[in-house]
A and B are shown apart, each in its own frame.
Chain A
């Protein structure tokens, strides 16, 4: 079973996001990037499937200048190969990313392509279904369970709907799956091992188109206008607890 995993980095939401001078993009100069958490689930699921069914895991990331750390982390976790795709100044929109990944997958054997179901920055849609459309492969998103069928010709997957309802679907391989969560918490890669692999690991590189665009014109980016927002209760835990008890009592929400 040849498994390909598509990964990217996104801004770290633990840091404050700022809008740049143009008013249409984030200020990116000092931005901290982290691996898209759903891509991490996709990688974990790929590693689990390989360990069950054999084969290999190839991780692909667009070459945005910081892909080395991302891909070295994949190798440290046990991926068999890492490939940088194209050459980008920064993470492009999903449509452009999907075209680049689709081109790269033309040169990477794949029975199953896994990627995160979504990312916090996919303004123009999710990469998984876009790649599937580019390659004319079947696709399922919001996947939580993957089992490879006999002979590797099809996979059975669970797709989550609202309210805890789950559809069990069978999909012909090769296919693209958007992973919602992995069967176990994604494994950890020691930083020292990642650093070492960044220096020593051999990473492949595949040329890919960098143009295309999303067809969207961003007029503005801004912090959300959320109306009045919460009335913030100041002071320490005891002061807040006193206020909350008073508020709940006033509203008749406390037991007698």
Chain B
């Protein structure tokens, strides 16, 4: 057993994901309290050079094999389980991404290590981790410990500042053997999004709509408001799933991360998956009839008026 803090590093096209910096920055601080090391865990093919981007780690463990060139749930999980069993860290931090969700719960079942999901805060207290998990759509925080003091946490993107993990240096790389290959899930192809009509990541002003918009017809007055503001219309996931807007307009965990000067959130409750994509906007104004909607926790200004009344009232003032 060790007091190490492991971090599962996501990467694509030779670049580590921002989540890796966020988690390694925190792992480095936690390792100071636990008396262990911050250890980066990387799966892939030809990945030694990635260590140069993982300066916040004391060591980098790699499972380097052509069969891991693209992430697949089964192979990643098998590799993570082998490392957890052998290294027995105090804590493993996994990004709450598609890949993280694939491997963390399965690794928990396979190793018997408990899992704390949707973590927004992690500390080491009295030698053991304590994790705060944001559940019930962002409406409740649960503070949990692991029964035997060791476990896995899936961490929401943006929970920790990436800057703490952007440390120069190239820690030593230790190669770990590929466990018995699991090829029951096979990579076929990676599809990147087609360029949309609007690149919402480059817009200074976004008028963003969620379920509270009610009907598709109401998008028209929202479009008029966006026009009057000189911005573009974006949305939360349900609007895109309904086919009301193209996927290129989706803000959030499975959409795009945006940092506009103004983010006007209309009828968006603010589930954690959405907040991941927009919490860094310079000015956030939220309109939602539920005064307890989590979106008000990150907004600078809020109102509980009916957006169907407010939107035309705003447009009139801006156009006139």
Contact = CB atoms under 8 A, between A and B. Distances in A.
Given A120-B136, A162-B253, A216-B145, A129 B305 contact: no
Nearest to A246: B317
Contact of B141 (A156, A214, A225): A225
Interface of B: 12, 70-74, 77, 97-99, 101-106, 108-110, 112-118, 130, 133-148, 151, 154, 157, 182, 184-193, 204-205, 229-230, 241-242, 247-248, 250, 253-257, 261-262, 269, 283-287, 290-292, 294, 296-306, 309-310, 313-314, 316-318
A242 B185 contact: no
Contacts of B296: 226, 229-230, 232
Interface in A142-194: 142, 156, 158-172, 175, 178, 180-181, 185
B184 A171 contact: yes
A230 B313 CA distance: 21
A224 interface: yes
B106 A129 contact: yes
A222 B143 CA distance: 8
B222 to A, nearest CB: 14
Nearest to A237: B309
A38 B256 CA distance: 21
A169 B186 CA distance: 6
Contacts of A118: 101
6 contacts: A129-B73, A161-B254, A165-B193, A166-B190, A181-B241, A224-B139
Given A125-B115, A221-B141, A254 B313 contact: no
A244 B301 contact: yes
A11 B136 contact: yes
Contact of B71 (A167, A168, A170, A224): A167
Given A130-B109, A138-B185, A175-B184, A242 B192 contact: no
B108 A125 contact: yes
Given A166-B190, A214-B114, A185 B242 contact: yes
B185 A171 contact: yes
A106 B285 CA distance: 51
Contact of B300 (A156, A231, A237, A245): A231
Contacts of B97: 161-162
A17 interface: yes
A240 B185 contact: no
A172 B184 contact: yes
Contact of A170 (B108, B141, B185, B205): B185
Contact of A123 (B144, B193, B316): B144
A160 B254 contact: yes
B297 A227 contact: yes
A53 interface: no
A89 interface: no
A98 B262 CA distance: 43
Interface string A127-143: 01110111000111110
Nearest to A19: B140
Contacts of A175: 184-185
A51 B170 CA distance: 55
Contacts of A166: 190-191
Given A123-B133, A126-B101, A95 B109 contact: yes
Interface string A2-28: 000000000101101101000000100
Contact of A231 (B73, B292, B302): B302
B141 A160 contact: no
Interface string A94-126: 110010000000000000000001101111111
A13 B108 contact: no
A13 B157 CA distance: 23
A25 B74 CA distance: 34
B12 to A, nearest CB: 8
Nearest to B243: A185
Contacts of B70: 167
Contacts of A156: 188
